[in-house]
Amino acid sequence: MNWNMIEQGWGRYRASAKRRWDRLSEAQIAGTQGRREYLASRVREAYTLSREEAERQISDWQAAQVEAPAYR
């Protein structure tokens, strides 16, 4: 899935991100507003990871996401 879709629909993907990185608070997850670089920074800090490892985890998580259906 394209990251722009995740960023634009962050409200639909926040819960999944919170499940993946449960050390992050709800405020930290919400505060990223879907911006990848901010999410990577928070993941690095919370889990004491290298930039490369944080990016790998985010890429793996991104690949597992599916587009949420539009609500009518």
pLDDT digit string (tens) for 10-67? 999 999 999 999 999 999 999 999 999 999 999 999 999 999 999 999 999 999 998 7
Q: How far apart are the first and last CA of the chain?
A: 22
pLDDT at 6 over 60: yes
Q: What's the distance, CA 19 to chain centroid?
A: 10
Domain that holds residue 16: 3-64
Residues in the chain: 72
CA nearest 6: which of 71, 70, 65?
A: 65
- Number of structural domains (the chain) is 1
CA nearest 41: which of 57, 62, 26?
A: 57
User: Structure pTM?
Assistant: 0.88
Whether 70 is covered by a domain: the verdict is no
Whether 23 is covered by a domain: the verdict is yes
Whether 69 is covered by a domain: the verdict is no
pLDDT of residue 69: 59
Whether 7 is covered by a domain: the verdict is yes
